[in-house]
Structure 1
Amino acid sequence: MYQLQVEEMSCGHCVASVTKAVKAVDAQASVEVDLASRQVKVQSGAALDAVKAAIAGAGFPVSAAQ
């Protein structure tokens, strides 16, 4: 499981965009978003770098990941 900090999320549309970006990399991924803390938890078989790049490509830079 990856835990990502995505600072620029501010609304439900942002959540949908981030989720869609992750699912484009791995359609089977599980994505859990906490908008208040701006944390995204991703369970995926895809590489962390691919997940981060997809989220960044959607316009939401990842500021931290583990």
Structure 2
Amino acid sequence: MNKTVIIKGMSCRHCAMRVEKALNKINGVEASVDLESRTAKLNLTNSISNQQIIEVIDGVGYEVVEIIDV
């Protein structure tokens, strides 16, 4: 399963790296964050709830605007 997460608050490459590192710590998540589009592309190999994704991103100081199943 794949998801695209729209993220508010990232303003530099360091921000994107911080979010990507936090998401990649979740078991079963392979994340790639794009600063320009303010999105994270997630490839999920385990069942991960949207709430878990929101909590991880909130935990590093950013806000989830929307999560799209693709």
Contact 1:2 1:48 in 2 (8 A): no
CA distance in 1, matches of 2:43, 2:52: 13
Partner in structure 2 of residue 35 of structure 1:
35
Structure 2 unaligned blocks of 5 or more:
none
Q: Runs of 4 or more off by more than 3 Å in structure 1?
A: none
More helix by share: 1
Partner in structure 1 of residue 4 of structure 2:
3
1:12 shift after superposition: 1.3
Contact 2:32 2:42 in 1 (8 A): yes
- The structure with more radius of gyration: 2
TM-score by length of 1: 0.82
Q: How many residues align?
A: 65
Q: Over aligned residues, Cα RMSD in angstroms?
A: 1.4
TM-score by length of 2: 0.78
Structure 1 unaligned blocks of 5 or more:
none
Is 1:18 aligned with 2:23?
Answer: no
1:48 shift after superposition: 2.2
